[in-house]
C-alpha cells in the first residue's frame, strides 16, 4: 500500500520484506532520503533495525520514521532520535506531509554537508614521510586492490600484495612488515585464520605487524569476531579516506614506540551524502562516486576510472560464473563468497544497484540455502551489462 501511495506522489520507494533485507541495502551503500520502519517485524523489529542503521550511518545521515500502534511516549527509543512517529492506521495525508517535510529539510542541509565533506576528503600526501610504514595488502579482489593501492599512494605509501592468507604467511617469512591491511573473506585461507596463524608464529607484539581488518560487514558481531581473532583495528568497505588515514597514523605511532596500548577500532566515517549511491534513481553508475575516484588521481596519471573498469570487467564475469555454478550445484557458501566479492568491487565503482543485488545474494548464502537466488543472479547479469555500457560511455 505504501509503495503504491508514494509512487503516486512521484516518489521512488524501495520496499524490503524484513529488517535484515533493509540493513543489507544500507550496508551495500544504497542511498535513501528517508527510512520508514515498522515497529513490529518478525526477524528484526523496528527499534533494532534503527539501532543498526544508526550505528552504520552514524545516526545523522538518514531520517528515520517509525510506524507503530503505540504512542510515542510508550516507546523506549534506546537513545535513537527519530524524525517522526506515525500511529497506525496511517492516514495517507499524515505520511505525505511527513515525507515532504523531511525531504524539504534535506534540500537545505545537503549543500552544507557537501562543503564539509570536501574538506574532510583531502589527502595528507606527506603522511608516508612523517610515518614511514612497510605495508602488506591482503586482498583477492583486483578492483579493491587497485583502489587501496591508489589511496595509499596518495598518502605517500606503497604496499606489497597477497591474494589470500597463505600468501600473507609466505610474505611474512620473506620479510617483516609494520602493517597488514587484511581482507576478512579470501579464498584458501581467510583473514581470520591467517591472523590466528600469525599470532601463533609471532606471539609477541614486537615481532608481528599490526593487523587491520577490511570487511564489507559492519555489524558489531563481525567487528568483535575480527578483534577476537587477534586483529588490531577494523575498517569497513568501501574504505573511507579519513578512516584509512587514522589507521595509518595509529600504526605509525605504534611502529615507532611499539609500546602503545591496543586502541579501539577505527570509527569508520559513513559514506558521504554526496558520494552515496543513486540506486533509487536507477542509475547504473553513481556519478558522485566516479567524481570522487578521480579526485584520488594525481596530475598526469592514467584515468583511475578506466583502470578500475578494466579490472572490474576482467573479474566480474568470473564471479558471475561462480554465482551461477553455486546456484546450479546448491552451494550456499560459494554463493555467499562470490556475492561478497562482487559487492565490494561494485561499491568501489559506484555500481550500487549491482552492489545491492550482490548483498541480497550474500544474505541468501548466509542462511545456508540458494533458494530464490537464481532470479537475482539473472537480474545481476542484466545489471552488469548496463554497468558495462555506462563505463564505456564514461571513459570514451
pLDDT per residue as tens digits for the range 250-261 = 888 788 765 444
Same domain as 217, residue 179: yes
Tell me which range, 62-76, 96-110, 234-248, 327-341, is most confidently predicted by mean pLDDT: 327-341
Residue 64 contacts residue 82 (beta carbons within 8 Å): yes
Residue 268 domain-assigned?
A: no
Residue 32 domain-assigned?
A: yes
pLDDT of the residue at 113 = 42
Residue 189 domain-assigned?
A: yes
Same domain as 315, residue 230: no
CATH code for the domain in which residue 336 is found: 1.20.120.160
Q: Which of 78, 99, 120 is the last residue of a domain?
A: 120
Q: What is the pLDDT of residues 367-378, one digit of tens each?
A: 899 988 999 999
pLDDT of the residue at 38 = 87
Helices of type H across 258-300: 287-295
pLDDT of the residue at 180 = 97
Residue 64 has pLDDT above 60, yes or no: yes
In the numeric block, which cell numbers belong to residue 372? 530464490
Residue 96 domain-assigned?
A: yes
Residue 265 has pLDDT above 60, yes or no: no
Q: How many domains does the chain have?
A: 3
Domain range holding 317? 279-395
Q: Which pTM was predicted? A: 0.53
With bands split at pLDDT 50, 70 and 90, how would you rate the model's confidence at 56?
confident
Taking Cα atoms as reference points, which of 296, 286, 317, 313 lies closest to residue 241? 296
Residue 284 domain-assigned?
A: yes
Q: List, in order, residues 6 or more apart from 242 with CB less than 8 Å away.
A: 120, 121, 269
Same domain as 173, residue 89: no
Phi, psi of 363 (to 5 degrees): -65, -40
Same domain as 155, residue 216: yes
Taking Cα atoms as reference points, which of 103, 91, 12, 26 lies closest to residue 276? 26
Residue 162 contacts residue 209 (beta carbons within 8 Å): no
With bands split at pLDDT 50, 70 and 90, how would you rate the model's confidence at 270?
very low
Residue 383 domain-assigned?
A: yes
Higher-scoring residue by pLDDT: 215, 262: 215
Helices of type H across the chain: 2-8, 19-27, 46-57, 92-120, 127-130, 142-154, 165-174, 191-201, 220-229, 241-257, 287-295, 304-329, 332-349, 352-366, 373-395
Same domain as 368, residue 328: yes
Neighbouring CB atoms inside 10 A of 244's CB total 23
Half-sphere exposure of 303 (CA within 13 A, CB side): 10
Name which of 24-28, 36-40, 118-122, 342-346 the model is least confident about: 118-122
Rounded CA separation 206/217 (Å): 29
Name which of 54-58, 59-63, 174-178, 202-206 the model is least confident about: 59-63
Residue 220 has pLDDT above 60, yes or no: yes
Here the contacts of 248-251 (C-beta below 8 Å, separation 24 or greater) are 248/127, 248/131, 248/133, 248/155, 248/157, 248/179, 249/127, 249/131, 251/131, 251/133, 251/178, 251/179, 251/210, 251/212
Half-sphere exposure of 53 (CA within 13 A, CB side): 31
Residue 280 has pLDDT above 60, yes or no: no
Residue 27 contacts residue 217 (beta carbons within 8 Å): yes
Rounded CA separation 336/368 (Å): 9
Same domain as 153, residue 71: no
Q: Which of 88, 120, 152 is the last residue of a domain?
A: 120
Task: Give whole-number Cα distances, 259 to 180, 255, 263, 326, in Å.
Answer: 18, 9, 12, 47
CATH code for the domain in which residue 178 is found: 3.40.50.2300
Name which of 112-116, 306-310, 352-356 the model is least confident about: 112-116
Same domain as 251, residue 133: yes
Residue 61 has pLDDT above 60, yes or no: yes
Amino acid at each position: 500500500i505504501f509503495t503504491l501511495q508514494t509512487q503516486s506522489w512521484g516518489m521512488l520507494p524501495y520496499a524490503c520484506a524484513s529488517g535484515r533485507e533493509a540493513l543489507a541495502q544500507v550496508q551495500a551503500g544504497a542511498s535513501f532520503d528517508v527510512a520508514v520502519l515498522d515497529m513490529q517485524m518478525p526477524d528484526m523489529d523496528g527499534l533494532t533495525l534503527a539501532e543498526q542503521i544508526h550505528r552504520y550511518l552514524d545516526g545523522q545521515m538518514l531520517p528515520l520514521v517509525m510506524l507503530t500502534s503505540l504512542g510515542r511516549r510508550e516507546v523506549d527509543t534506546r537513545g535513537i532520535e527519530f524524525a517522526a512517529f506515525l500511529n497506525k492506521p496511517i492516514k495517507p495525508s499524515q505520511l505525505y506531509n511527513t515525507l515532504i517535510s523531511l525531504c524539504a529539510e534535506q534540500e537545505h542541509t545537503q549543500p552544507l554537508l557537501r562543503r564539509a565533506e570536501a574538506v574532510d576528503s583531502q589527502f595528507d600526501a606527506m603522511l608516508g614521510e612523517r610515518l614511514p610504514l612497510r605495508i602488506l595488502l591482503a586482498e583477492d579482489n583486483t578492483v579493491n586492490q587497485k583502489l587501496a593501492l591508489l589511496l595509499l599512494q596518495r598518502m605517500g605509501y606503497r604496499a606489497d600484495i597477497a591474494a589470500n592468507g597463505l600468501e600473507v604467511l609466505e610474505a611474512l617469512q620473506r620479510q617483516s612488515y609494520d602493517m597488514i591491511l587484511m581482507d576478512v573473506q579470501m579464498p584458501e585461507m581467510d583473514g581470520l585464520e591467517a591472523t590466528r596463524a600469525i599470532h601463533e608464529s609471532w606471539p609477541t607484539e614486537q615481532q608481528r605487524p599490526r593487523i587491520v581488518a577490511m570487511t564489507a560487514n559492519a555489524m558489531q558481531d563481525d567487528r568483535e569476531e575480527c578483534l577476537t581473532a587477534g586483529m588490531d583495528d577494523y575498517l569497513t568497505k568501501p574504505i573511507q579516506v579519513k578512516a584509512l588515514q587514522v589507521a595509518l597514523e595509529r600504526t605509525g605511532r605504534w611502529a615507532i614506540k611499539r609500546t602503545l596500548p591496543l586502541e579501539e577500532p577505527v570509527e569508520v566515517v559513513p559514506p558521504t551524502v554526496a558520494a552515496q549511491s543513486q540506486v533509487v534513481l536507477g542509475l547504473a553508475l553513481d556519478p558522485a562516486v566516479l567524481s570522487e575516484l578521480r579526485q584520488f588521481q594525481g596530475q598526469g596519471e592514467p584515468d583511475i576510472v578506466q583502470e578500475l573498469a578494466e579490472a572490474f570487467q576482467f573479474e566480474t564475469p568470473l564471479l558471475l560464473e561462480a554465482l551461477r555454478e553455486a546456484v546450479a550445484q546448491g552451494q550456499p557458501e560459494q554463493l555467499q563468497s562470490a556475492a561478497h566479492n562482487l559487492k565490494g568491487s561494485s561499491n568501489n565503482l559506484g555500481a550500487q544497484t549491482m552492489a545491492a543485488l550482490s548483498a541480497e545474494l550474500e544474505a541468501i548464502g548466509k542462511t545456508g540455502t540458494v533458494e530464490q537466488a537464481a532470479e537475482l543472479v539473472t537480474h545481476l547479469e542484466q545489471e552488469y551489462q548496463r554497468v558495462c555500457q555506462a563505463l564505456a560511455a564514461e571513459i570514451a
